[in-house]
Amino acid sequence: MAALEEQERRLVLDRFTYDDAWALGTLLVELARERGAPVAIDVRRGGQQLFHAALPGSSADNDAWIDRKRRVVERYGCSSYLVGSRFRAKGTTFEASSRLDPDRFAAHGGSFPIAVRDAGVIGTVTVSGLPQREDHALVVEALQRFKSS
């Protein structure tokens, strides 16, 4: 969990504009295509979807997973993978102990907060289509590259 928390501290951005959403989403598409990953990708700021892409092999189910994982980030202010990990560390599961509707919330890896310095969490970036650890890793890699550019 310490590594997941460190990722969130490290991946705070100086700004996040509409153009940045396009650049981050496009970067995720490129990374996914290089790997042949059958994913759907979503980038939001506040309640507005700024970027969405569905690659071959993804389905409408991935869009539903995106919504469920995104809601966890919006509620808890940290990555969906970290939220699920915190529940597992307590010897339980998100589904058993969160008291939230599992049809609307999923603490599975793949959604990450877009945090801006001095503004906090202002949005989300989410990937769905791979095992949860891989969804999470793809988002983190893209944010690291985006932040470095």
Question: In the chain, pLDDT over 70 holds for what percent of residues?
Answer: 100
Q: Each residue of 20-56: pLDDT tens digit? A: 999 999 999 999 999 999 999 999 999 999 999 999 9
| pTM above threshold 0.85 | yes
Backbone phi, psi, residue 38, to 5°: -85, 70
Concatenated DSSP letters of the chain: -HHHHHHHHHTEES---HHHHHHHHHHHHHHHHHHT---EEEEEETTEEEEEEE-TT--HHHHHHHHHHHHHHHHHSS-HHHHHHHHHHTTS-HHHHS-S-TTT----SSEEEEEETTTEEEEEEEEESS-HHHHHHHHHHHHHHHHH-
Q: Each residue of 86-130: pLDDT tens digit? A: 999 999 999 999 999 999 999 999 999 999 999 999 999 999 999
- Class for domain 2-148, per CATH? alpha beta
